[in-house]
Structure 1
Amino acid sequence: MDWQSAKKAFKNYLKLERSLSKNSIEAYLRDIDKIEQFLIYHDKSIAPLKITTQDLKDLLQWVNQLGMLATSQARLISGIKSFYKFLIIEDLITKDPSALIEAPKTRRKLPDVLTVEEVEGLIAALDLSKPENIRNKAMLETLYSSGLRVSELIELKISNYFPDVEFIKISGKGNKERLVPIGDTAMKHIAIYRQTVRNHQEIKKGQEDFMFLNRRGTKLSRIMVFMLIKDLAQKIGLQKNISPHTFRHSFATHLIEGGADLRAIQEMLGHESITTTEIYTHLDRDFLKQTIKEFHPRN
């Protein structure tokens, strides 16, 4: 079995048996590409089934020398382990060469979080005389209102939008569905966008059910949402390194600060494990200090 055949079989396994999203599958395949790149660079010709533990250790030493961050190395090892687990399941190998490979220790980095005023400042920076910014305002309000991933935002369907009960149905990681509340402000701006912009667009066949569309009448790309947020941050002079995911982090953190139940936030974010959600229990230090000052009996 050569590398192309192995990757094709692995791709089918990830898609059909693990039901992963397109983006997740591509991430796993990029991890396997790294092994190929390492072999090509070192002029080695080793088939996937012949890779040894030492080969994988040499690969990790190589990427480390190239300056790959510990978090990226951990991601790479995870992908490689999944690949060789697949080969074991398919009885293509009997010994897993990645079994003794350990991921480097990584410090858990707390995500950047926007204050409520910063969220409002970013959204207020949109020039609503432009039709695309009427759409963009509806998008950002939806991101912040419901804590969506960027992939969930661009895939949002009109058929999964239920304003009468104030919920949207989301297909998240691994195609797992969840119902997420959506707030009045987001619904108001979605209605404005649909009535004043979307209803007057020529929509490409097959794209009719996507909520947010570009000028060509097709669904938006992830990069377009990233660029929008980066441009707005620059426009208002915001020094934080932000992305669409920052709105998700801010959504969760603001709920925690307001006293929301951690389990409820876990459900809304679509986290499998509560430990993933617990990262949002970090609170702004000024907020904590102020809470102590106001409510501790010795103060």
Structure 2
Amino acid sequence: MTQNRDADRTPVTVIGLGLMGQALAGAFLRDGHPTTVWNRTAAKAEPLIAQGATLADSIADAVAASPLAVVCLSDYDTAHKLLDPVGELLDGRTLVNLTSGTSAQARETAEWAARHGSAYLDGVILAVPPGIGTADAIILYSGPRAAFDLHEPALRSLAEATTYLGGDHTLSALHDMAVLGLMWGVLNGFLHGAALLGAAGVDPAGFVPLVRQGIGIVTDWLPGYAQQIAEGTYPALDATLDTHRAAMEHLAQESESRGVNADLPRFIQDLADRALADGRGGDGYTAMIEQFRKPSGSRS
């Protein structure tokens, strides 16, 4: 007797078949999950149907088809426009929202789902579509632990690095925003450096090995920085903020003399000036976190 390998796989519905939604549905299918899909443009489902997916005739049929519904749409407003009319069908089901948005939207959607009797997990994908279902994907989840534990085996079809952050629904979106800020900080630093070197005719490809080494060095500092932040003490183990401030001026002057936009180094310098005005000149660079903790526009 041949055992059906799909028999122990949770049926899943995927709503939204953009590039990421298609990747999510494809990963569930490859892992043997009976997968129902729905998209406003039904033609996008054709490759998935060829792989064994079932196309729902309506959003209501899609929600009703599975105990686990995974939503991946352009934004939360779109998700609500689609799901609000069929909210009562979510009663007793788990809704996983992998749509990007803010922590406030995650909280509001969790409250909406609770009113409809649904367990809600808010999630964040830290991967590109081709990475879904591989070791390259990271997906973060927050919401009720029981719902995550129940569906963790199915969710691991999407990413080997499947991480539960806690019961607060806002945590996934908060982590997403923090990672985005880090990404843009690194990329903007690289682009500014490439522009500065480019003004002297340096090929940006030659800059990359030095950037990689520099990022590795800074990465090694982070555990110590995290400990200092947690303890609220900022010892100058390598250089004081006064010393950093002087180097910031050099970078700004170099940029200006080369005809390169100096707004980024001047902005960082302005933050450092605020820290110095607060008496942090003798502290280490981690003291700058006190400036990031202040509301925008605050100088006190």
- TM-score w.r.t. structure 2 length? 0.24
Higher strand proportion (structure 1 or 2): 2
User: Greater RCO between the two (CA within 8 Å, min separation 6)?
Assistant: 1
Bigger Rg over Cα: 2
Higher helix proportion (structure 1 or 2): 1
- TM-score w.r.t. structure 1 length? 0.24
